[in-house]
């Protein structure tokens, strides 16, 4: 089989796993971000952990170092342009050029539309959309120069619509359009952009939703599991596995895709 345009035959292409790159995970102090950071370290990468809550990242730093990889935790509000520029430069100077970016930082400010404040709308837009834009714009400089990069954003099944989440659903759907556009613009530089769209994943975020609904996290998880085709809720490692696929050296022909990780078809 000839890989057209590359002058390579299938047998001459290097399908071996290449690791040892520098990854940035935003919101890495929390459930999904921390699991993604650990998985990227397991796959041989050094990892920078960016979060507004630096304390939360400390345990994750230790877990990455235990895996024999380097880790760096930095305070960074992804919605703040100066924070983002400083953090990415710090990562490049300390660990090396960041060639894998995971846009994971997120917040919820749920409310029905008629009760939703402008602040609740703006905070969610800022962390998810403005944050992913600022982080991706800063990191693509390194990726396009290196002619290799991976940008993976965490969307959600809420992108398809979810009661009480007009702000969050709009932001998560926005991330999908953002991802497809980056895929078109950056593909020719060897940079892919993809998104993982999780369903119910048990973290502090779902505990917050449970509280809003007047349920314990376990009651909420049990109810959620009944709606899932595979009959269970998801865990941060389920998302990390999908992220690892997109980040893999061998996924260079997978670009602009949205992978739902929700135990069944997304509806
Ligand atoms: N848990 C789920 O069911 C679920 C489902 C779909 C998508 N997601 C998405 O997955 C991502 C991770 O969520 P999680 O469930 O692990 O939540 P989490 O609350 O456990 O973690 C979110 C992390 O983001 C950090 N963060 C918040 N604002 C930030 C900012 N401005 N700058 C930097 N860091 C910031 C928080 O401090 C926290 O550590 C989010 O984007 C979320 O929307 C979660």
**For the chain, percent of residues with pLDDT exceeding 90:** 91
Q: Give residue-wise pLDDT tens across range 122-169.
A: 999 999 999 999 999 999 999 999 999 999 999 999 999 999 999 999
The model carries a pTM of 0.94
Reading the block at residue 80, the tokens are 């703040």
Q: Mean per-residue pLDDT for 182-195?
A: 98
Contact status, residue 210 vs residue 216, Cβ threshold 8 Å: yes
Closest ligand 1 atom to residue 126 Cα is 31
Closest ligand 1 atom to residue 105 Cα is 24
Q: Would residue 164 be called left, alpha or beta, if left means φ above 0 and alpha means ψ between -120 and 50 degrees?
A: left
Reading the block at residue 143, the tokens are 């990726």
Average pLDDT, the chain: 94
Concerning whether 168 is annotated as a catalytic residue, the answer is: yes
Q: How far is the CA of 154 from the centre of ligand 1 (A)?
A: 9
Q: Give residue-wise pLDDT tens across range 234-267.
A: 999 999 999 999 999 999 999 999 999 999 998 7
Q: How far is the CA of 115 from the centre of ligand 1 (A)?
A: 23
φ, ψ of residue 264 to 5 degrees: the values are 175, 180
> Apex CA 57: angle with CA 130 and CA 220, to 5°?
75
Reading the block at residue 163, the tokens are 């009661």
Closest ligand 1 atom to residue 200 Cα is 3
Q: Is 26 close to ligand 1, i.e. is its CB under 6 Å away?
A: yes
Q: How far is the CA of 49 from the centre of ligand 1 (A)?
A: 13
Q: Would residue 97 be called left, alpha or beta, if left means φ above 0 and alpha means ψ between -120 and 50 degrees?
A: beta
| 19, 34, 130, 157 from 99: Cα distances, Å | 11, 18, 20, 27
Q: Is 167 close to ligand 1, i.e. is its CB under 6 Å away?
A: no
């Amino acid at each position: 089989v000839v890989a057209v345009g590359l002058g390579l035959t299938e047998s001459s292409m290097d399908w071996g796993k290449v690791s040892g790159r520098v990854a940035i995970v935003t919101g890495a102090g929390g459930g999904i971000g921390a699991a993604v950071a650990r998985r990227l370290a397991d796959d041989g990468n050094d990892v920078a952990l960016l979060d507004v809550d630096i304390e939360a990242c400390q345990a994750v730093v230790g877990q990455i170092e235990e895996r024999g990889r380097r880790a760096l935790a930095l305070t960074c509000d992804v919605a703040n342009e100066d924070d983002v520029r400083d953090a990415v430069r710090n990562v490049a100077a300390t660990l090396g050029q960041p060639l894998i970016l995971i846009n994971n930082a997120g917040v919820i400010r749920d409310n029905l539309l008629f009760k939703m404040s402008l602040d609740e709308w703006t905070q969610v837009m800022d962390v998810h959309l403005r944050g992913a834009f600022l982080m991706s714009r800063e990191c693509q400089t390194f990726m396009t120069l290196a002619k290799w990069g991976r940008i993976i954003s965490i969307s959600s099944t809420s992108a398809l619509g979810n009661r009480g989440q007009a702000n969050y659903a709009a932001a998560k759907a926005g991330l999908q359009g953002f991802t497809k556009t980056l895929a078109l613009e950056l593909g020719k530089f060897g940079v892919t952009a993809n998104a993982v769209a999780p369903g119910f994943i048990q973290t502090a975020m779902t505990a917050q939703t449970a509280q809003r609904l007047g349920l314990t996290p376990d009651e909420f998880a049990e109810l959620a599991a009944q709606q899932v085709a595979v009959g269970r809720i998801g865990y941060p490692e389920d998302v990390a596995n999908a992220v690892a696929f997109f980040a893999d050296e061998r996924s260079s022909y997978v670009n602009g895709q949205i992978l739902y990780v929700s135990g069944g078809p997304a509806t």
